[in-house]
């Protein structure tokens, strides 16, 4: 009879998801050789090869893929059992590992930590700044429990199978100009078409934010924007607007409440928005994660019309 070690099955499941020993090692905090040793032990335990050479690396054999599928089921069952046991106690306990895009981390995740510490002191909280694409492997494998991600009008993110997506917050996008920009003076909406000759700043070229700016300038303005500057940090983008006379298009959560050097203007052609949503694994949620989701949802509801709306809007 074969006895399967859940810890070694997690190594196999990680390899199925991430594809290389190095990526598994980075994710789990081991050396690649240690990961290889654990998988070799698992091969001995089941009595069949699970990995085979493929060029300079290795890949799963048919038996390895089959066992990885069973590992997925067994690990999910172990997680469900842990959640059920945690629910028996009178106090909520456990660990929640949460991540989110920068504005969500700043305005939703981090402000929720204090209430969690007060109401659920036995819950260990771990918060990171994460993009959904970074977090998906961890979400699937259980090393991340919750991600707050976003998408933009006309540029929805993919919804991978096995994940639960729930809406959290909708907000408006505003054009951000230097306060002394000629188009800032009238105080009303600004047409993207009038920013044809302007230098733009956006997030990295691989992000939905960059795709949103380029797509809207093409569709609404009829031109290819001159995006010279890139940063995933909204504060850096705002600094570029101040010092390089560039233009940005940012959600309200990213905008400081008062800044006389900046002007915020609606888009004239149409209302553009961003939606924040929570992403968790399909299946039962632990009591700790359920409690944190409620706190985050309350935090989002509390923002309401209190979004930052500063900058010069004369």
Domains of the chain: 6-83 (1.10.10.10), 91-305 (3.40.190.290)
Burial of 79 (0-12, 13-18, 19+ CB in 10 A): middle
The structure's pTM equals 0.75
pLDDT of residue 171: 95
A 10 A CB-CB count for 87 gives: 14
Q: Tens digits of per-residue pLDDT, 213-251?
A: 999 999 999 999 999 999 999 999 999 999 999 999 999
In the prediction, which pLDDT does 274 show?
A: 96
Alpha helices in the chain (DSSP H): 6-18, 21-28, 32-46, 62-88, 102-104, 110-119, 132-141, 208-216, 234-244, 287-303
Farthest CA pair distance, the chain: 79
Q: Which of 48, 161, 149 is nearest to 105 (CA)?
A: 149
Q: What is the pLDDT of residue 309?
A: 42
Q: What is the mean pLDDT of each run of 10 residues along the chain (314 residues)?
A: 80 86 80 87 90 87 91 81 69 92 95 96 94 82 90 88 91 96 90 97 93 96 97 96 97 91 95 95 89 96 59 45
Alpha-carbon distance 34 to 47, whole Å?
A: 20
Instruction: In whole angstroms, give the CA distance from residue 269 to residue 186.
Output: 16
- pLDDT at residue 1, rounded to an integer: 67
Q: What pLDDT, in 10s, does the model give residues 107-137?
A: 999 999 999 999 999 999 999 998 888 888 8
The conformation of residue 286, written as its DSSP 8-state character, comes to P
Residues near 71 by Cβ (< 8 Å), separated by ≥ 6?
9, 10, 12, 13, 16
- What is the rounded distance in angstroms from the CA atom of residue 294 to the CA atom of residue 115? 11
DSSP state of 31: -
Query: How confident is the model at residue 304, as a pLDDT?
Result: 62
């Amino acid at each position: 009879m074969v006895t399967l070690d859940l810890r070694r099955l997690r190594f196999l499941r990680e390899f199925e998801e991430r594809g290389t020993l190095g990526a598994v090692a980075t994710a789990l905090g081991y050396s690649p050789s240690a990961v290889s040793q654990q998988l070799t032990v698992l091969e001995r335990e089941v009595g069949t090869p699970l990995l085979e050479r493929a060029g300079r690396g290795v890949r799963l054999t048919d038996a390895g893929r089959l066992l990885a599928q069973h590992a997925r089921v067994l690990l999910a069952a172990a997680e469900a059992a842990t959640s059920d046991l945690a629910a028996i106690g009178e106090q909520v306990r456990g660990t929640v590992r949460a991540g989110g895009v920068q504005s969500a981390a700043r305005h939703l995740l981090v402000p929720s930590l204090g209430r969690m510490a007060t109401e659920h002191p036995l819950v260990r909280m771990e918060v990171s700044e994460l993009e959904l694409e970074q977090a998906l492997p961890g979400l699937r494998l259980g090393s991340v429990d919750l991600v707050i991600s976003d998408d933009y009008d006309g540029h929805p993110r993919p919804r991978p199978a096995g994940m639960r997506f729930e809406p959290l917050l909708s907000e408006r996008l505003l054009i951000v100009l230097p306060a002394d920009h000629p188009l800032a003076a009238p105080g009303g909406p600004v047409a993207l078409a009038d920013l044809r000759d302007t230098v733009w700043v956006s997030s990295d070229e691989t992000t939905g934010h960059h795709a949103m700016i380029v797509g809207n300038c093409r569709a609404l303005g009829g031109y290819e924007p001159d995006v010279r500057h890139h940063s995933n940090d909204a504060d850096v983008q705002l600094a570029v607007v101040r010092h390089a006379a560039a233009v940005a298009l940012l959600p309200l959560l990213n905008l400081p409440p008062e800044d006389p050097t900046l002007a915020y203007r609606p888009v004239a052609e149409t209302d553009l928005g961003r939606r924040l949503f929570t992403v968790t694994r399909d299946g039962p949620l632990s009591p700790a994660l359920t409690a944190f989701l409620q706190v985050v949802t309350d935090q989002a509801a509390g923002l309401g019309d209190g979004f930052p709306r500063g900058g010069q809007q004369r």
